[in-house]
Structure 1
Amino acid sequence: MLLEVEKKSPVQVSIFSEVEKTLRKLRSYGPQSYASLTRQDGPYLQVAGGGVTCVLEMRDPQASKHWRAHLGQAKVPFEGEQTLMFGGGKLTIWPDEVLFIDDVVAVFKAFFDGEALPKEIKWRDISQVVGLV
C-alpha cells in the first residue's frame, strides 16, 4: 500500500507498524498534519489533524463515493460546526466527526488488513460536498 504524509515522499508499506507510527506522530499544528493510505486498486483513507482532533475520510474512486467517519456519540464537548485547521487547509466539521487517534489507527489497521472496518465508526456520504456527484 502507498502511504503519503505531508511534506514527505510517498512510500510503499508492507507492515502496519510503519503506518501506525506515522499516524501517531500527526498533529494539526505540526509539520505532518495529514496522511493517506491507498490500496493498489484505488480506494484510500485519509486523515487530517492528530491526537484528539482527527477527521477521517474514505474514498472509493471506482464507485465515485467519498465518506467522512463519524461516531454515534460525540467524544468532544463542543456543539455546532467547528473548523479544523491543518497543513492542507481547513475543514468544517461536526462534533461527531472528531475522532481520537486510537479510532483512526483501528480503521487504518482494518483497511490495511482487508478486514471489516470497526462498527463503532459510522460513515457519512459526502460525495456531493467534494464534487463527485
Structure 2
Amino acid sequence: MNFSEHNQADIGNPTRDYVGDRLSRITPSGPGYFSLTSDDGSYVQTAGARMKLVIEYRKSNGDSFRHYVLGRDDISNPSATQINSAVGQINLMADEILDIDDVIDVFGHFLECGAVPRQYKLRDDTKRFQDSGSDEP
C-alpha cells in the first residue's frame, strides 16, 4: 500500500494509526486530500474538511476500472450539493457528505482488506473519466 498526502512525500506500507493520524488533519486549506493505493492500482481517496468529506473508491481490474463515490444508506437526500476542499469545490449528492470518522473507517478497512466497508453505498462515477478521456480524478 502507498499513502499519499497533499503536498507531502508518499509513504509506503503505512500503519493504520499513521493513516488515521494524518487523515485527522484534513482541512480545506490543506492538507486537503489523501489517497491510499494498493499494488493493483485500486485506491480510496478523500478531500474536504473533517465534517464534510467526499470519499471515492477506484477498483482496478487489469486495464480497466470502476470508480465510485461513497455515500450513506441511512440518508435519503437526493439533492446535489458542494463541499470546499484544497482542490476547489466538489460536486456531490447530500448523502455523499461524510465525516472524519467515516474516512478513518474506510481507509483503515481498505488498508486491511483492499476494499471499502459494506455499510456504504457506492454511486458509480466511472463515466466521468470515460467522458474526459482520462483515468485521473
TM-score (norm 1): 0.86
> 2:3 is paired with a residue of what secondary structure?
strand
* Cα distance in 2 for residues equivalent to 1:131 and 1:84: 24
Quote the sequence identity (%).
25
* Cα distance in 1 for residues equivalent to 2:2 and 2:17: 14
Aligned 8 A contact 1:13 1:19 in 2 = no
Match of residue 21 from structure 2 = 21
User: 5+ unaligned residues in a row in structure 2: which ranges?
Assistant: none
Alignment of 1:38-53 (within 5 A): 38-53=37-52
* Cα distance in 2 for residues equivalent to 1:2 and 1:116: 15
Q: CA RMSD in A?
A: 2.2
Match of residue 102 from structure 1 = 101
1:69 aligns with 2:70: yes
Match of residue 2 from structure 1 = 2
Matched AA of 1:110: H
* Cα distance in 2 for residues equivalent to 1:126 and 1:114: 22
Residue 60 of structure 1 and its aligned partner are, at CA, apart by 1.9
* Cα distance in 2 for residues equivalent to 1:37 and 1:69: 15
Q: Which runs of 4+ in 1 moved over 3 A?
A: none
Aligned 8 A contact 1:5 1:34 in 2 = yes
User: 5+ unaligned residues in a row in structure 1: which ranges?
Assistant: none
Residue 116 of structure 1 and its aligned partner are, at CA, apart by 5.9
TM-score (norm 2): 0.84
